[in-house]
């Protein structure tokens, strides 16, 4: 088994080189360390990426010249050392010793003296450095890339500070109770008997928010399908889509399958439900969730591109859920590497893809049918502006207000911002397709 710190260095170096995300890289990395080191590895990589822009600003102050790209592994050693000195209860001498040993294991022993000198200088000057950078460097103060901070400030002048602060706070672990098998009250009794503290969600009647995150193996009944892990805002998709027995329903962009399984828990065996996923690598994750919840007989899985029609059988749908590809800016607190990996230019590409998917799937919707558009983004460029443009381009598309007690009602759709001990950032918009007679009644 490999050392957790060495694996963490390799993961951070991959992120710096933009060679994958934590979601893609971490599962394999966890298999390389012993079970007792998995928690440390996760803490190191998530903590370092969450604090990256502060650590990066500190490192630039402490270094005479930046590391070149071929030495991103050494830069990762330095960042991880700074993170441990600042945030973890590990004795400083142990952090420095472990950090100084890592370059040797990376076949770059020439850097040991540099790592030692920089970390010891930080020890001596940490208070002064923090005060100076907090006052002089907005990127350090807000711990976000400049483009993201500027865009959020422009888009949400009354909310941007809240957004940035919430992004750096760990999200709660939220469960969705499988109401096919038991009630939320019954499930909370199981948690209480197991000594697990939790609170019922406020927005979803199936949501349970744990006081402390747990390994799913320690959650009563998880392996038997009594519950699933799903943010409370994401759980609203089931009630907002309002699918009915006897309907033909499509869940587009379905992986990892949370919204699909929620839909099936409500309507298994009572509706024709299909799920579409572009990436074949993500299909097994959907199948695993369906099998754990014993829902796989009630769903047809399709592999294909939601912006194309070569997978479609020609029969239109009563309802379509479009969980569109997006920046993930509403779930940064769960995926802090988004701050490193996303660029401003990505939003334009994503907006083009989102419109292409909507344009295509709208053709597959029956007159009188409903399309629910969802993203885990807080950028209007991916949300309300997409829906506004789409409605202007499609006279038969009628935007319907959601009339929710939560979130921020917008001219098009409902925007949710991440909340402490509650839901993530999210967006929903509901569109109704006028029938052939031109009637506007839903």
Structure tokens at 189: 């009794």
**Burial degree of 235 (CB within 10 A; 0-12, 13-18, 19+):** buried
CA 309 – CA 363 distance, rounded (Å): 10
CB within 8 A of 411, min separation 6: which ones? 384, 388
Given the residues 253, 261, 326, 376, select the one marked as catalytic.
376
CB 27, CB 119: distance < 8 Å: no
Query: Would you call 376 a catalytic residue per the annotation?
Result: yes
Closest CA to 364 of 322, 308, 317, 301: 317
CA 302 – CA 14 distance, rounded (Å): 32
DSSP string, 21-65: -HHHHHHHHHTTS-GGGHHHHHHHHHHHHHTHHHHHHHHHHH-SS
CA 333 – CA 337 distance, rounded (Å): 9
Closest CA to 293 of 322, 314, 263: 263
Structure tokens at 224: 């038997």
Q: Which residues pair with 277 in a beta bridge?
A: 303
Sign of CA dihedral 336, 338, 344, 347: negative
Give catalytic residue positions. Answer: 376
């Amino acid at each position: 088994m490999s050392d957790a710190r060495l694996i963490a260095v390799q993961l951070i170096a991959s992120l710096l080189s933009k060679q994958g995300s934590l979601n893609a890289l971490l599962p394999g990395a966890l298999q390389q360390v012993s079970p007792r080191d998995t928690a440390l590895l996760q803490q190191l990589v998530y903590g370092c990426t969450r604090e990256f822009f502060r650590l990066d600003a500190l490192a630039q102050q402490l270094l005479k010249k930046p590391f070149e790209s071929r030495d991103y592994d050494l830069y990762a050693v330095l960042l991880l050392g700074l993170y441990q000195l600042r945030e973890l209860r590990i004795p400083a001498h142990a952090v420095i010793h472990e950090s100084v040993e890592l370059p040797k294991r990376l076949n770059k022993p020439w850097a040991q003296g540099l790592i030692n000198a920089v970390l010891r200088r930080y020890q001596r000057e940490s208070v002064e450095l923090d005060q100076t950078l907090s006052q002089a460097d907005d990127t350090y103060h807000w711990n976000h890339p400049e483009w993201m901070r500027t865009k959020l400030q422009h888009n949400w002048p009354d909310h941007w500070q809240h957004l940035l602060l919430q992004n750096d706070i760990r999200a709660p672990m939220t469960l969705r109770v499988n109401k096919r098998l038991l009630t939320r009250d019954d499930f909370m009794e199981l948690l209480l008997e197991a000594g697990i503290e939790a609170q019922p969600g406020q927005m979803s009647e199936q949501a349970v928010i744990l006081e402390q995150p747990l390994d799913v193996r320690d959650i009563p009944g998880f392996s038997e399908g009594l519950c699933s892990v799903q943010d409370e805002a994401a759980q609203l998709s089931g009630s907002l889509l309002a699918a009915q027995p006897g309907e033909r329903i499509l869940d587009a962009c379905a992986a990892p399958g949370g919204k699909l399984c929620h839909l099936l828990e409500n309507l298994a065996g009572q509706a024709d439900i299909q799920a579409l996923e572009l990436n074949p690598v993500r299909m097994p994750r959907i199948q695993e969730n369906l099998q754990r919840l014993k829902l796989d007989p009630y769903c047809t899985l399709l592999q294909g591109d939601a912006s194309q029609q070569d997978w479609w059988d020609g029969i239109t749908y009563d309802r379509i859920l479009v969980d569109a590809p997006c920046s993930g800016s509403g779930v940064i607190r769960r995926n802090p590497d988004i701050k490193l990996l996303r660029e401003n230019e990505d939003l334009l590409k994503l907006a083009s893809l989102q419109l292409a998917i909507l344009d295509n799937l709208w053709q597959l919707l029956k007159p009188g049918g409903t399309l629910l558009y969802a993203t885990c983004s807080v950028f209007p460029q991916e949300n309300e502006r997409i829906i506004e443009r789409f409605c202007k381009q499609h006279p038969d598309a009628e935007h319907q207000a959601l009339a929710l007690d939560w979130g921020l009602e917008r001219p098009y759709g409902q925007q949710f911002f991440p909340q402490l001990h509650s839901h993530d950032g999210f967006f929903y918009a509901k569109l109704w397709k006028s029938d052939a007679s031109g009637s506007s009644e839903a």
